[in-house]
Chain A
Amino acid sequence: MEPEHRDQPHLPGPTVYPIGFAAGVATLLVGLVVSPTVIAPIGGAIAMPAPATAPAVPADVGEAAMPPPAPGERFARSRFLEGATLGLGGVIGGVVTVPVLGMALGPAFGKQGKHRVDLGSIDNFPQGDWEIAHFFLHPDEGEVTRRTAYIRYNGLLSGKPSFTIISNRCAHLGCPVQPNGPSFPDQTKNFGTGGGQEVTLIKMLPAGGFGCPCHGGQYDTEGNRTAGPPVRSLDRYEYAIDNGHLILGKTYSVAHVDGTGSTAVIHRYGLAGPGQHIDGWEQIFYPLQPPH
């Protein structure tokens, strides 16, 4: 029998025309934006030449529109076009999706911002007394960075001033922990310490430790959990003494505290979110934390 391929439309020869056309259109678009008079016409000229006529494809629908390879074709043209369409579509999706997702998800891997909070002279903190301290982590960002810490001056420990500085963020789900005891608003100190920092110190007596108004967590005066759902002790602030001023640094998480005051042993970990275990067997649930 005679081979039938003589009746088939002539197969087009190999061509790089699509690549040239794509390059021409790209040049045209860039040209229209940056230099409509010079670069754009060049792009137009590259894209201009008419393509060779493509072979007719049977006008069936669905899968039937994809004919078997014509004799002489080593690889079906329809298969190539299918692969190329899906591949190029994937490239388009990737080019758009990667930056969009990157920008949206980026902060998930960001660091805890650096801050250095000047709480004023350590003379404001009488030994053994508790103060509610309101301050701004970043005074330039305003009210949204207002934070509260409960501070007690423990006196000197081998010649250096020792402070207990507890964050008021509950270790259960982050509600604002309150002192279990009276505070004395008539003994309030307000002062600025430069750079827009406004510090408020209010004397208080948290004889019953601290309590959370949301789900009933209770802590003692070292921040150790005594009752309720908190998974660890209250977070604390790093501190330093600079020129007789108390300077707050990073926040860190605390599993528990042994002892009290200046001699307390703090079992310290990197900052973790509220409700996340940092010791005990449950820590396997939170193996990785964003860098802090």
Chain B
Amino acid sequence: MAIATRTRKSPRRERLEAAVNYPIDWLEERSGLIGGIRYFLFRKVPGDTNWFHTLGSATLTAFLVQAVTGVILAMYYKPEPKTAYASIQHITNDVTLGWLVRGMHKWGASVFIILMFFHMARVFLFGAYKYPRELNWIIGVMLLVIGMLEGFTGYLLPWDQTAYWATIVGINLNGTAPFLGPYIAQFLRGGAEIGPDTLARFYSMHMLLIPGAIFALIGLHLYLVVRLGVSSPPWSKEAAGADWVEEQEVSTDGRRAGLTRPVPRNYVRGQRGDSA
């Protein structure tokens, strides 16, 4: 008797579960979003993915930190040459936790760039840019380029000496491009000389244009990751899809225990609503 009551849920608990599930079911019926999320989460990845495979999501995390801190910084920053420097000082020295949010944004930028390079190195060494993932590599290279552009446009915003002169050089670098260079430089400056228009232009690009493009490309990047799957480490003896595995002895000594062990076939995730 006691065992039976323990396995059967109490009416109260059933009511509670129904109350929790109702909005989820409501959303699923009208949008199919929950199914999409479940597909994303419970899709299979090769059993031998490892820490190297976390660099991509770590880069995403760094970008999200940039997005969130950037939105808050924009609430205090004043993109005008006469006020920009003072507003940066105000954010750093006076605003509650302004130093932390600005510090996270400043250092998050470096971390984001480093992680992009690490992620790229991982994909290169794993040969993960090969068929059918060529397009995703190209999108990744584009993300690297506009990620560095994001760093370049953001570097001007504090309007201090390092910012100003690094931007002068950066703009003039573009100005030396053959044929179009002089026009590209004028476009970036918003005129013949660096001035208030330059700062507003860089602010707009840094805040809206480039982050929008990064978000869109990250969306595409992730879509292709989910669609094409993650590639196994090339040295793995259980590498998914590798026809060279047969040549070698498949490891049977149980070294791959724990999280990296292939999941047994009969493994079923506890599914909501089918407890009866």
CB–CB under 8 A between A and B in the complex? yes
Contacts of B173 in A (CB 8 A): 173, 275
**Whole-angstrom distance between the Cβ of B223 and the nearest chain A Cβ:** 22
**Residue pair B165, A175 in contact (C-beta under 8 Å):** yes
**Residue pair A144, B187 in contact (C-beta under 8 Å):** no
Contacts of A285 in B (CB 8 A): 178-179, 181
**Residue pair A273, B181 in contact (C-beta under 8 Å):** yes
B185: Cβ under 8 A from any A Cβ: yes
Residues facing A in B61-105 (CB within 8 A) are: 81-82
**Residue pair A289, B195 in contact (C-beta under 8 Å):** no
Contacts of A290 in B (CB 8 A): 182-183, 186, 192
A191: Cβ under 8 A from any B Cβ: no
Contacts of A144 in B (CB 8 A): 81-82, 194-196
- Judged by DSSP, the binding face of A is loop
One of A24-32, A90-98, A107-115, A241-249 contacting the partner: A107-115
Contacts of B187 in A (CB 8 A): 104-105, 107-108
Contacts of A276 in B (CB 8 A): 175-176, 181-182
Which bracket fits the contact residues of A? 20 to 34
Q: How many residues of B contact A (CB 8 A)?
A: 28
B28: Cβ under 8 A from any A Cβ: no
Residues facing A in B139-187 (CB within 8 A) are: 165, 168-169, 171-173, 175-176, 178-179, 181-187
Residues facing B in A143-180 (CB within 8 A) are: 143-145, 173-176
- Judged by DSSP, the binding face of B is helix
Select B172's contact among A137, A174, A286, beta carbons within 8 Å: A174
**Whole-angstrom distance between the Cβ of B162 and the nearest chain A Cβ:** 12
A23: Cβ under 8 A from any B Cβ: no
**Residue pair B179, A109 in contact (C-beta under 8 Å):** no
**CA of A129 to CA of B187 in the docked complex: distance in angstroms?**
39
B119: Cβ under 8 A from any A Cβ: no
**Residue pair B172, A173 in contact (C-beta under 8 Å):** yes
**CA of A292 to CA of B183 in the docked complex: distance in angstroms?**
12
User: Contacts A214-B169, A273-B175, A274-B172; is A113 near B182 (CB within 8 Å)?
Assistant: no
Question: Which A residues are within 8 Å of any B CB, using their own CB?
Answer: 104-105, 107-113, 137, 141-145, 173-176, 214, 271-276, 285-290, 292
Q: Give me 12 A-to-B residue pairs in the complex whose CB atoms sit less than 8 angstroms apart, sorted by A's number.
A: A110-B186, A111-B192, A112-B193, A137-B193, A141-B196, A214-B169, A273-B172, A273-B182, A274-B176, A275-B172, A275-B173, A276-B176
